[in-house]
Amino acid sequence: MGQYDAPQKAKDAGVYPYFRPIESDQDTVVKIDGKPVLMFGSNSYLGLTNHPRLKEGAIKAIEKYGTGCAGSRFLNGTLDIHLELEDRLAKLVHKQSALVYATGFMVNSGVVPCITGREDYLIFDEYDHASIIEGKRLSFSKQFKYRHNDMDSLEKILKKCDPDKLKVIVTDGVFSMEGDVAKLPEIVELSKKYNASIMVDEAHSLGVFGKTGAGVCEHFGQSDNVDLIMGTFSKSLGTIGGFIASDENIINFLKHNSRTLIFSASITPASTGCVLAALDVMAEETWRKDALWANTNRSKEGFLKAGFEIGPTETPIIPLYVRDNTKTFMLTRMLMDDGVFVNPVVSPAVPSEDSLIRFSLMATHTFEQVDEAIEKISKNARILGIIE
């Protein structure tokens, strides 16, 4: 570790793109080094992080419950508003019961190791989120990885499994870097054929997909066929935290066995009050989801017209493939100088030949902001020879 100097080299080259301090709220325009910058690197899909009702919900919760619970949910850290939130979330995603954790990462890293035993099977999409992979590492079960969204690859694995053992397929609903959507109807079909269970991570689809914003399970009409539904509060719902929803027996088991729940402090009163308010806003201000998709469609059209390769994205996450680590860093730096904040994705997160700029949208972006960002990104990409 003492020899690790990659960040220092990037800083010396003037292209280090991480830990950039923001001096304002997470809005469509943020302040960095005292200057306004267009924010196209945020997961605040519905644009709720500075919504007055969310702020009010957080403040009222602090006034009543204080700033923290000083313990885990298992012992002294369960509040009545935690139970209220769990009831609301279970109803939202069409499940019997839900369990709230302090972060989304803790949900996946704490649930995945619990749901199968030594002789059972965990089966993953190769592009699943790092929190799922972390949970997999903690499991003693037999583990298989199928090629991304490849149903033939998944079926070959299912065929290998002992038909009498528990099999759980774990997939992201929306894949956070590529922006594509899990083939959930096909996964459900295979799960029925091979008697497997399914867990779906709705982190990047909650608030974005489905009639009520419940995610891709609702969007595809498959909520009843998915055994566990995970979601996070740090994207569409404007704060931090996460949950798992399932039937009452599974949630009861997790409440007494999931180590990241039992041995971590509770989600704060402020975040809990914030999510309760966010669920109300999401249900009432339905224009937000419509605006998000309008911005998404305009952006995709603009980037394709400019000559960018954007892959199979179907969501407000638009990957702009650069396919070169150095150019990805350079483009990020040039755009920051030009007043546009985007996120670079380079190896080892992806192979160097798949490096990309992750462009993500909010409901509150204006068409003028979208067009300005596309123009500036295209201009700088031409300078670097990424597009013609």
Identify the pLDDT of residue 361: 98
Do residue 75 and residue 111 come from a single domain? yes
Distance CA(291)–CA(27), nearest Å, equals 15
Q: What is the mean pLDDT of residues 97-104?
A: 98
Is residue 311, in this structure, part of any structural domain at all? Answer: yes
Mean pLDDT of 189-213: 98
Whether 46 is covered by a domain: the verdict is no
For residue 129, the model assigns a pLDDT of: 95
Q: Residue 75 above 70 pLDDT?
A: yes
Q: Are residues 189 and 56 in the same domain?
A: yes
**116 and 171 share a domain?**
yes
Distance CA(308)–CA(249), nearest Å, equals 48
Asked if residue 155 belongs to a domain, the reply is yes
**Are 127 and 229 contained in the same domain?**
yes
290 and 305 share one domain:
yes
Q: Are residues 263 and 358 in the same domain?
A: no
Token digits of residue 222: 């498959």
Instruction: Give residues with Cβ within 8 angstroms of 345, minimum separation 6.
Output: 177, 319, 328, 355, 356, 357, 358
Residue 309 main-chain phi, psi, to 5 deg: -95, 120
Please choose, from the candidates 361, 135, 319, the residue with its C-alpha nearest in 3D space to the C-alpha of residue 230: 135
CB 241 within 8 A of CB 100: yes
Query: CATH number of the domain that 96 lies in?
Result: 3.40.640.10
**H or E element that contains 341:** strand 340-341
The DSSP letter of residue 191 is H
Confidence class for position 350, pLDDT limits 50, 70, 90: confident
CA distance 141 to 146: 16
Kindly report, residue by residue over 106-157, the tens digit of the pLDDT. 999 999 999 999 999 999 999 999 999 999 999 999 999 999 999 999 999 9
Within a domain: residue 367?
Answer: yes
Whole-model pTM: value is 0.96
Contact between residue 118 and residue 141 where contact means Cβ atoms under 8 Å apart: yes
pLDDT in tens, 236-275: 999 999 999 999 999 999 999 999 999 999 999 999 999 9
* Same domain, residue pair 317 and 190: no
pLDDT tens digits for range 164-185: 999 999 999 999 989 999 999 9
Which uninterrupted H or E stretch holds 251?
A: helix 248-257
Residue 215: per-residue pLDDT: 98
Length of the chain: 388
| Rounded Cα distance, 304 and 200, in Å | 30
Say what percent of the chain tops pLDDT 90. Answer: 94
Phi, psi of 97 (to 5 degrees): -150, 160
Specify whether 299 is located in the same domain as 191. no
Residue 286's pLDDT is 97
Residues linked to residue 321 through DSSP beta bridges, in sequence order: 356
Q: Give the total number of structural domains in the chain.
A: 2
CATH number of the domain to which 338 belongs: 3.90.1150.10
Domain final residue, candidates 264, 284, 304:
284
Three-class DSSP category at 131: helix
Confidence at residue 10, expressed as pLDDT on a 0 to 100 scale: 87
Per-chain mean pLDDT for the chain: 96
Beta-bridge partners for 229: 200, 245
Reading the block at residue 210, the tokens are: 């489905």
The answer to whether residues 356 and 269 belong to one domain is: no
Q: What residues are labeled active site?
A: 176, 204, 235
As beta bridge partners, residue 29 has: 38
Residue 109 lies in a domain: yes
Please name which of 219, 229, 209 lies closest in space to residue 315, comparing C-alpha atoms: 209
Residue 47 lies in a domain: no
**b/e sequence 86-122, b meaning 16+ C-beta within 10 Å:** beebbebbbbebbbbbbbbbbbbbbbbbbbbeeebbb
Nearest to 17 by CA among 229, 327, 296: 327
In the prediction, which pLDDT does 7 show?
87
Average pLDDT value for residue range 38-47: 98
End residue of a domain, out of 284, 316, 349:
284
| Backbone φ and ψ of 319, nearest 5° | -80, 130
- SS3 label, residue 28: coil
Question: For strand 35-39 and strand 29-32, is the pairing parallel, antiparallel, or unpaired?
Answer: antiparallel
Residues 174 and 275 in one domain: yes
The residue out of 260, 284, 308 marking a domain boundary is 284
Same domain, 293 and 314: yes
- Residue pointed to by tokens 């969501």: 315
Q: Residue 344's pLDDT is what?
A: 96
d(CA 293, CA 298): 8
Residues 271, 363 within the same domain: no
Residue numbers of the domain that contains 131:
52-284
Question: To the nearest whole percent, how much of the chain has pLDDT over 70?
Answer: 100
Residue with tokens 């292209």: 15
Buried b (16+ CB within 10 A) or exposed e, 18-54: eeeeeeeebbbebebeeeebbbbbbbbbbbbbebebb
Q: Does the residue 375 lie in any domain?
A: yes
Which bin fits 10, alpha (ψ -120 to 50), beta or left (φ > 0)?
Answer: alpha
| Predicted local confidence at residue 1, as pLDDT | 65
How far is Cα 305 from Cα 130, in angstroms, rounded to an integer? Answer: 33
User: Residue 388: inside a domain, yes or no?
Assistant: no
Question: Can you state the percent helix, strand and coil of the chain, rounding each to 5?
Answer: 40, 15, 40
Mean pLDDT of all residues in 213-228: 98
